[in-house]
Structure 1
Amino acid sequence: MHCSRLLSTTLAAFMVAGAVQAQTLHAVRAAVTDHTVGTVSVVDLMTGEVLSRFNTGSPGGLRHAAAPGQVSMAQGQAGRVDVVDLGVTVESHGDHSDLKLSAPRLIPAVAQGPKPSHVLGGDGRLASFFDGDGSVVVVGGGSTATLRANVPHHGLAYPFRSAAGARLMVSHAAAAGARPGGVVLLDEEAKELVRNDDCPMLHGEATSGRIIGLGCGNGVLLLNTRTQEFRKVPYPAGTENGRMVRNLIGGANYHLFVGDFGPEAVTILDPDAGHFAVVDLPARRVAFTLDPQRADALFALTEDGQLHRIDTLSGKIVASAAVVQRYSLEGGSAVARPRLSAAGGVVAITDPMRSRLLVLDAATLAPQREVALPGTPLHVLAVAASGERH
């Protein structure tokens, strides 16, 4: 009896010690590019520390890459795509996940070609579309494959996995330089399986659950990646000609898509109900974003410097705050304007005119910290992760 009690006490003490040793960590890091020079900085959004700054071929845009914790950087002038590993890795152990933090690193020139545009990750692969010659470079699984769209155009290639195996969705256009009008689905041998021609002026894409959404001139085209079936959700009645979704973001914890919709609105699409909610903004939109893991809130920055938090379930603006000075929309893409990214309960906003990155609380829009970045910070993409450390 005495030995049994002693053993139980020892085991209990060991379990308590083990529980104390396991610490839950939260990490939020962001990649930030510059408008005029080829650099990308990695910032710890929870501390404001600039962890790394890498030289790249030229300025470029950011997207999520194939692996969690990595982002891609398409550099049109340099004709290459780099990948930035933010140093955030989550390892699943069944009953819990471990979070490992490491130094960020640059993986240069994972794909090369003329005028890279849309770079999309899925199914453990990264597909880079090159507008200059219509080529598509797919990297993943230790191999690289190159194929071509029917003609050069401003297009996309989206890797995904269906019930029947790995697939690649590639846009097609009627003539070289024309806007794409549809997509084809290719198998692992690049054989055409399915074709859809009902997406005029195709631009903008995102994933929510098993659904890929595409912005079209006449609505949003939805692809069920498991069944490889398409369906179209038309825009609301009365939508004026030329008003369309051109950029999409998909939710992960909520099955929805958010997108732009003309200069003074955003839209929320319920793909299951086939319903659009159009949210009119009080001024012209500069940028918008969504945290896919917390997709109940959409954030939109208007040219008066106000940031608006929109409830995606009600379609209402629930909070607004002045965060930056006024940024005019005149001057086109030659003018650097703020960009947004949300992750892990914060919103990151670049402020190019003041060479800084702002970090706000996503729930209250209250400022948390300001990070000085040399030059003209432009694009930002944040990644969040949580896990235990033993």
Structure 2
Amino acid sequence: MMIVRWLPAAALVAFGLTGPVFAQAAAQDQPQAVRAAVTDHVAASVAVLDLLTGAVLARFETGGPGGLRPGAAPGQLSLAQGPAGRVDVVDLGLGVESHGDHADLAISPPRLLPRVAEGPKPSHVLGGNGRLASFFDGDGSIVLAQDGQTRRLSANVAHHGLAYPFLASEGPRLLVSHAASPGARPGGVVLLDEAGAELARRDDCPRLHGEAQSNRVIGLGCGDGVLLLDTRTQRFRKVAYPAGGEAGRMVRSLAGGADFHLFAGDFGPQAMTILDPDAGSFAVVELPARRLAFTLDPQRAAALFVLTEDGRIHRIDTLNGRIAASAAAVPRYSLEGGAAVARPRLSAAGGLLAVTDPARGRVLVLDAATLAPLREIALGGAPLNVLALAASGERH
């Protein structure tokens, strides 16, 4: 049995999902705004949706199709456009201002902040504590953006890597991947201080790919386990994958919880894994079909959602490692054809689950607790990546 620690939740929620354990609390503390950004598989644009009403609030022209990640500030998302060589920021117009005994909700029109960073082949863009770090695979450069100012650093060689900004008690820190040669898969990370000086190094993360943060701990997917960095102590440790697993299975994409201290990740084409970083233990959840996409709400991490190629959504209880419910969501999508084929993605917030259906030019909104369909938003084109945020608070 996994033992997962509970931690307090915040008012602004990214990738929000929910399950039965949170149904009563969610009903009592319903977010007042839930918005999502959606990119297209082909078109150079991003749309902002109101998931509560189904309204399309805005459409912005970008440099090209891209991937969405949480931004440096609450309510913001990054949009990395590889072929266009640029990173934009989408501000969803959701703000929460704390006043101690309560929080005020500020809603404003969405806006696009274009060209926050530029360079060859931007890939992983990671934000936190007001800083946004864009890693450019083409030359191994890193652009750090903060308060409208940017500066450029470099990894040891060009590779498909990452730069993870975080704030330690001693000041800003940056975790940067390194590779043995240009174009090789990264095999470890270095920890840098604000001036770019090396503080620590780990060379034992072969085929590094996938990263997430669960409160004070950053997790990195490696070929032989998950490498963990405690951002408070700045110490590393490694949790090996469970014995007896299929040869070659590894975590390539991670998500981290905030209210529960855990990580969820893919584990081969037809399984998920859940890591308790405190206990150093894994749970492996086998899926009934091959996985298309998954998402975890940091603030409601007792539930994990997985979309499989048969078009069904599966809600997994992360506390016991079992599939709790399943329901049909979209028609079948084959995994054949590689990245050239647009396939659904999913994200959720505020008790709502958004699922893109690129073949039919729509976004489906489901009740995250029951998996029941609520509404359909027609966008046209081929909606692909989606990232949802929810915000709650008093309005004056």
The answer to whether TM tops 0.5 is yes
User: Identity percentage over the alignment?
Assistant: 74
Quick one: distance in 1 between partners of 2:200 and 2:49? 42
Match of 2:90 in 1: 84
Quick one: distance in 2 between partners of 1:273 and 1:334? 40
Q: Give the letter for the 2:198 counterpart.
A: E
Q: Which has the larger radius of gyration?
A: 1
Q: Give the letter for the 1:199 counterpart.
A: C
Quick one: distance in 1 between partners of 2:298 and 2:313? 18
1:284 aligns with 2:290: yes
Quick one: distance in 2 between partners of 1:259 and 1:113? 29
Match of 1:100 in 2: 106
Match of 2:222 in 1: 216
Residue 49 of structure 2: which of 31, 38, 43 is its match? 43
Instruction: State the 1:25 CA deviation.
Output: 5.7
CA contact (8 A) 2:125 2:134 kept: yes
Match of 1:320 in 2: 326
TM-score, normalization by structure 1: 0.93
Q: Which of structure 1's runs of 4+ aligned residues deviate more than 2 A?
A: none
Quick one: distance in 2 between partners of 1:238 and 1:285? 21
Residue 74 of structure 1: which of 66, 72, 80 is its match? 80
CA contact (8 A) 1:24 1:387 kept: no
Residue 138 of structure 1: which of 144, 147, 162 is its match? 144
Match of 2:10 in 1: none
Q: Please give the per-residue CA displacement for 1:25-66, whole angstroms capped at 9, x wherever unaligned.
A: 611100000000110000000100000000000000000000
Quick one: distance in 2 between partners of 1:123 and 1:219? 27
Where 2:394 maps in the other structure, the secondary structure is strand
Quick one: distance in 1 between partners of 2:276 and 2:311? 29
Where 1:181 maps in the other structure, the secondary structure is strand
CA contact (8 A) 2:274 2:282 kept: yes
Instruction: State the 1:94 CA deviation.
Output: 1.0
Residue 125 of structure 1: which of 131, 135, 140 is its match? 131
Match of 1:300 in 2: 306
Residue 256 of structure 1: which of 258, 262, 265 is its match? 262
Quick one: distance in 1 between partners of 2:204 and 2:53? 47
Q: Please give the per-residue CA displacement for 1:334-358, whole angstroms capped at 9, x wherever unaligned.
A: 0000001021111110000110000
Where 2:380 maps in the other structure, the secondary structure is coil
CA contact (8 A) 2:360 2:380 kept: no
Write out aligned runs for 1:1-390 (5 A).
Answer: 26-390=32-396
CA contact (8 A) 2:73 2:129 kept: no
Q: Give the letter for the 2:261 counterpart.
A: H
Task: Identify unmatched segments of 5+ residues in structure 2.
Answer: 1-28
TM-score, normalization by structure 2: 0.92
Q: Give the letter for the 1:173 counterpart.
A: A
Instruction: State the 1:238 CA deviation.
Output: 1.2
CA contact (8 A) 2:31 2:390 kept: no
Q: Give the letter for the 1:309 counterpart.
A: R
Q: Give the letter for the 2:336 counterpart.
A: E
The structure, 1 or 2, with the larger RCO (C-alpha pairs under 8 Å, 6+ apart) is 2
Where 2:359 maps in the other structure, the secondary structure is helix
Quick one: distance in 1 between partners of 2:288 and 2:117? 41
CA contact (8 A) 1:25 1:389 kept: no
Q: Please give the per-residue CA displacement for 1:151-198, whole angstroms capped at 9, x wherever unaligned.
A: 000000000011211100100000000000000011111001100111
Number of residue pairs matched by the alignment = 368
Worse-superposed segment, 99-108 or 133-142 = 133-142
Where 1:293 maps in the other structure, the secondary structure is helix
Instruction: State the 1:87 CA deviation.
Output: 0.4
Where 1:388 maps in the other structure, the secondary structure is coil
Q: For the structure 1 residues 150 and 356, does the alpha-carbon distance in structure 2 shift closer, same or farther, using more than 3 Å as the test?
A: same
CA RMSD of aligned residues (A): 1.0
Quick one: distance in 2 between partners of 1:25 and 1:354? 29
Q: For the structure 1 residues 180 and 24, does the alpha-carbon distance in structure 2 shift closer, same or farther, using more than 3 Å as the test?
A: closer
Instruction: State the 1:322 CA deviation.
Output: 0.6
